[in-house]
């Protein structure tokens, strides 16, 4: 049974609580439509949306249409190539829209790179080999940059590491507190603990400086 992707209204895809393996359904390509092959139309949409990281039906249908265009082989969309793209995106497991778009771009760039590799292996023309090699190199670099961008996006929420234990050798000094480092000096917040006591406040420092000047003038 197939269901045609005709959903004019955007709405979240409700979860299906039935037990069973979460396998992405196949997408069938017809001359004028795209269909999801699954016994349960709603479950098929939900599973495919989870695989592609789509937030709603509009996002799901938009990504499917883009992937169908990227799957073209010989000026015709290819179901096997499309299934490979969907399966690969599912293995990347995008968690939000940014990751979903990056994953879709990654599989599209990979597909184009492999086409270039195929053309490079099938041609004996030196000029064409050089042209295809340049294209393959650019695509490979783009893919590596996309992987790095995905990793940076996923690691952007990492928290800063706090050091709990601090060891100070004989003759050394340690500051525990908020410290601001400038080009020529290190300034600690007033009340910060050091190995010799607390850093004096600004007012206390000014009084000590005034007393020192009076003693020098006397």
Residue 139's contacts (CB-CB under 8 Å, 6 or more residues apart) are: 109, 112, 113, 116
Element (H, E) at 175: strand 175-176
* Confidence grade of residue 15 (pLDDT, cut at 50, 70, 90): very low
Each residue's pLDDT tens digit, 84-104: 999 999 999 999 999 999 999
Q: Is the pLDDT of residue 117 over 50?
A: yes
More confidently predicted of 176 and 139: 139
Residue 178 pLDDT? 56
Q: Which of 158, 24, 15 is nearest to 91 (CA)?
A: 24
More confidently predicted of 218 and 121: 121
Cα(186)–Cα(182) distance, rounded to whole angstroms? 6
Q: Which of 147, 152, 29, 153 is nearest to 86 (CA)?
A: 29
Q: Is the pLDDT of residue 183 over 60?
A: no
Element (H, E) at 36: strand 34-37
Residue 21 pLDDT? 43
Domain coordinates in residue numbering, the chain = 2-154, 175-217
Token pair recorded at residue 186: 């290190």
Is 25:38 a contact under the CB 8 Å cutoff? Answer: yes
User: In whole angstroms, what separates CA 35 from the centre of its chain?
Assistant: 29
Is 28:37 a contact under the CB 8 Å cutoff? Answer: yes
Overall pTM > 0.85: no
Q: Which of 39, 53, 32 is nearest to 3 (CA)?
A: 39
């Amino acid at each position: 049974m197939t269901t045609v992707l005709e959903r004019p209204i955007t709405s979240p895809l409700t979860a299906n609580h039935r037990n069973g393996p979460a396998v992405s359904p196949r997408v069938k390509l017809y001359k004028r439509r795209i269909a999801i092959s699954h016994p349960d139309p709603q479950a098929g949409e939900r599973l495919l949306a989870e695989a592609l990281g789509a937030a709603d039906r509009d996002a799901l249908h938009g990504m499917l249409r883009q992937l169908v265009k990227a799957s073209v082989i010989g000026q015709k969309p290819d179901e096997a190539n499309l299934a490979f793209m969907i399966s690969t995106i599912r293995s990347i497991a995008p968690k939000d829209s940014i990751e979903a778009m990056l994953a879709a771009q990654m599989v599209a760039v990979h597909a184009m790179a492999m086409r270039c590799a195929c053309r490079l292996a099938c041609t004996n023309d030196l000029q064409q080999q050089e042209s295809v090699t340049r294209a393959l190199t650019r695509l490979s670099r783009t893919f590596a940059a996309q992987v790095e961008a995905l990793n940076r996006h996923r690691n952007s929420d990492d928290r800063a590491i706090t050091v709990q234990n601090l060891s100070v050798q004989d003759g050394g000094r340690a500051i525990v507190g908020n410290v601001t480092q400038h080009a020529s000096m290190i300034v600690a917040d007033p009340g910060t603990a050091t190995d010799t006591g607390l850093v004096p406040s600004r007012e206390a420092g000014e009084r000590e400086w005034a007393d020192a000047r009076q003693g020098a003038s006397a």
